[in-house]
Amino acid sequence: MFLALLANLGLGPAAGEVSLDATLVQGLLRRDVNAFEQLYDRHSRHVYALVLRILQHAATAEEVVQDVFLQLWRNSAAYDAERGPFVPWLLTLARNRALDHLRLKSERQRRREDQTDELPPVAAAPEYERELDERRRVERIRSLMGGLLPQQKRAIELAYFEGLSHSEIAAKLSEPLGTVKSWIRNGLLRLKEGLQTAS
Amino acid sequence: MNIHMANGDQFRELIEAYALGALDPQERASLEAHLAAGCADCAKALDEARWLVSQLAFLAPDAKPSDMLRGRLLQTVRAEAHATKSAKTAAAIPFWMWGAVAALLLFTVYTSWETIQVRKAIDATNEQAKQEIAKRHELGEELAIAQREAIILTDPRSVKIAMPASSKDMPKLDAMWHAKMGIVVTGQKVPMPAGNRTLQLWLIPKTRGGKPIPSMMLRPDADGKFILLVANPPDVMDATKALAITEEPAGGSLQPTTKPIWVGAIS
């Protein structure tokens, strides 16, 4: 409660939010429904937005979001707060589930069958990561992405939101494989530089 | 640039795409093998790249899920939480197990009672054995005393000491002194000292003006009989002039408090 109040007042924002998320996840281990409710209310919009962007179908997106949060409820022990922040882990989980669902409808299923139920590893936040509130975080990444070359942005979006590989993107864009590899790598490195500079 | 470094750089260049999930199968397998081999630099870079890729989620256009989704989800979660709680409560001791638990409890109580009884029996046996051992020990000691007495009384090397009474009403006592085994004094029809007073043996030294040396005390039995063994006399026979017996208070005295009733000179 106290940490949520801190976050709402904009005092020591993300530190409070990060701690609150970790505390709420601990509550899931104790089967605390209230903790689950809070986590859902805090993060369901971003999870749903991401999954909807990937699946492009509201009903299916809601099914996947439900699966994601139920998986969180049933496997909360898989998240280790010591390893890294909660939100990136949750969003990665959501993306993976959405892409799995996408691939179930296509022949690309054969590539990811062994990872259907795997939970993603928790990634540590880098040193340059700033503690921003939700709105600023969204603004930041969208702004940085807007600064990329269109082809870099397109290639990254195809990889991220459609789960395409280098070869598949190269085929889709009718571009050389090496070129696509460079676009994606350089685009991500520019994003990283932008985040480091902003911090 | 050496091959090792070239290979390391080559893998390093794949990290971001791997985190994105964009690597083709062959490159992915190759990098995973490299990571499995324990490349710390690549592992660190991958951790950072995963976080970076997760930020791309915020590019998705804003959207809000329906309230129905929230409702369905919470309903499921509440049901599972309740089921977990019930399962925990039920799992403690299911109804059908009460009979088994009761039976086990009874068995445990009976076994404990039986154990206590057995333990008591063992303790009683141990106590009995102890008593037997003590008795045997006592008997052994008595036997040893009797054997010593017998030697003193029968060994030709023992010196016989007659101890006439100072009063005609009193019986004569006899003493035998064996230089190695000790002194035995015997008496019959000896009157019991009054109250809790006792008879005490003294060694009268040959030394001129030497004080009587206190020795053991004795009380005759109901029949007036006694046999006194002094296994370790306080002085040697050669230094002793006579044996004397006086009546003393209970516990004896350091020096005679009465006139000797019996005196036996050692020749």
Q: What is the pLDDT of residues B215-260, one digit of tens each?
A: 999 999 999 999 999 988 888 899 999 999 999 998 888 899 999 9
For residue B65, how many C-alpha atoms fall within 13 Å in the half-sphere facing its CB?
A: 29
Q: Residue A99 and residue A50: Cα distance in Å, rounded?
A: 11
For residue A88, how many C-alpha atoms fall within 13 Å in the half-sphere facing its CB?
A: 25
Do B162 and B174 meet the contact criterion of CB atoms below 8 Å apart? Answer: yes
Which residues from A are below 8 Å from B57, CB to CB?
Answer: 46, 50, 91, 94-95
Closest by Cβ to A159, choosing from B22, B63, B81: B22
CA distance B68 to chain A (A): 10
Confidence of residue B3 (pLDDT cuts 50, 70, 90): very low
- The residue-averaged pLDDT of B180-187 equals 93
Residue A108 confidence (pLDDT) above 70: no
Q: Residue A165 and residue A171: Cα distance in Å, rounded?
A: 10
- The residue-averaged pLDDT of B141-151 equals 83
**Mean pLDDT, rounded, of chain A:** 84
In angstroms, what CA-CA distances link A94 with A17, A54, A157? 20, 10, 16
The reported pLDDT for the residue numbered B85 is 75
Residue B2 confidence (pLDDT) above 50: no
Parallel, antiparallel or unpaired: strands B240-248 and B159-163: unpaired
Do B259 and B246 meet the contact criterion of CB atoms below 8 Å apart? Answer: yes
DSSP 8-state class, residue B172: P
The gap from C-alpha A18 to its chain's centroid, in whole angstroms, comes to: 15
Q: In this predicted model, which residue has the larger pLDDT, A1 or A156?
A: A156
The reported pLDDT for the residue numbered B127 is 81
Q: Which of A2-6, A40-44, A78-82, A86-90 has the lowest mean pLDDT?
A: A2-6
Count chain A–chain B contacts defined by CB atoms under 8 A. 146
The reported pLDDT for the residue numbered A9 is 40
The gap from C-alpha B50 to its chain's centroid, in whole angstroms, comes to: 64
Q: In this predicted model, which residue has the larger pLDDT, B107 or B38?
A: B38
Run of H or E residues at B202: strand B198-205
Q: What share of chain B is helix, strand, coil (3-state, %, to 5)?
A: 50, 20, 30
Q: In this predicted model, which residue has the larger pLDDT, B71 or A134?
A: B71
Q: pTM to 2 decimals? A: 0.58
Do A19 and A3 meet the contact criterion of CB atoms below 8 Å apart? Answer: yes
Q: What share of chain A is helix, strand, coil (3-state, %, to 5)?
A: 75, 0, 25
The reported pLDDT for the residue numbered A111 is 52
The reported pLDDT for the residue numbered B8 is 65
Do B251 and B263 meet the contact criterion of CB atoms below 8 Å apart? Answer: no
The reported pLDDT for the residue numbered A11 is 37
Confidence of residue B267 (pLDDT cuts 50, 70, 90): confident
Chain B interface test: which of A56, A57, A192 (most B C-beta within 10 Å): A192
State the complex-level ipTM: 0.86
Which residues from B are below 8 Å from A36, CB to CB?
Answer: 74, 77
Chain A interface test: which of B56, B64, B67, B72 (most A C-beta within 10 Å): B56
Confidence of residue A123 (pLDDT cuts 50, 70, 90): confident
Confidence of residue A104 (pLDDT cuts 50, 70, 90): confident
Percent of chain A whose pLDDT exceeds 70 = 81
Which residues from B are below 8 Å from A31, CB to CB?
Answer: 80-81, 84-85
Q: Residue B163 and residue B266: Cα distance in Å, rounded?
A: 10
Restricting to B residues 77-136, those with a Cβ less than 8 Å away from any Cβ of A are 77-78, 80-81, 84-85
Q: In this predicted model, which residue has the larger pLDDT, B8 or A142?
A: A142
Asked if the Cβ–Cβ distance from B70 to A185 is below 8 Å, we say no
- The residue-averaged pLDDT of A27-52 equals 95
Q: Residue B203 forms beta bridges with which residues?
A: B213, B243
Residue A121 confidence (pLDDT) above 90: no
The gap from C-alpha A104 to its chain's centroid, in whole angstroms, comes to: 20
Find, among A125, A97, A129, A134, the residue nearest to A112 by Cα: A97
CA distance B118 to chain A (A): 49
Confidence of residue B122 (pLDDT cuts 50, 70, 90): confident
Do B220 and B184 meet the contact criterion of CB atoms below 8 Å apart? Answer: no
Residue A5 confidence (pLDDT) above 60: no
Q: Residue B31 and residue B23: Cα distance in Å, rounded?
A: 9
Which residues from B are below 8 Å from A145, CB to CB?
Answer: 56, 59
Percent of chain A whose pLDDT exceeds 90 = 61
Confidence of residue B190 (pLDDT cuts 50, 70, 90): very high
**Mean pLDDT, rounded, of chain B:** 87
Q: Residue B253 and residue A91: Cα distance in Å, rounded?
A: 105
Helix (H, G, I), strand (E, B) or coil at B108: helix
The reported pLDDT for the residue numbered B5 is 44
Q: Residue B246 and residue B160: Cα distance in Å, rounded?
A: 20
Asked if the Cβ–Cβ distance from A120 to B60 is below 8 Å, we say no
Asked if the Cβ–Cβ distance from A31 to B81 is below 8 Å, we say yes
Parallel, antiparallel or unpaired: strands B240-248 and B262-265: antiparallel
Residue A67 token pair: 């699966």
For residue A142, how many C-alpha atoms fall within 13 Å in the half-sphere facing its CB?
A: 11
- The residue-averaged pLDDT of A186-191 equals 94
Asked if the Cβ–Cβ distance from A33 to B49 is below 8 Å, we say no
The gap from C-alpha B83 to its chain's centroid, in whole angstroms, comes to: 52
Nearest-by-CA chain A residue for B65: A48
Closest by Cβ to A65, choosing from B51, B60, B69: B69
Helices A166-173 and A177-198 pack at an angle, to 10 degrees, of: 110
Restricting to A residues 167-186, those with a Cβ less than 8 Å away from any Cβ of B are 167, 169, 181, 184-185
Asked if the Cβ–Cβ distance from A164 to B22 is below 8 Å, we say yes
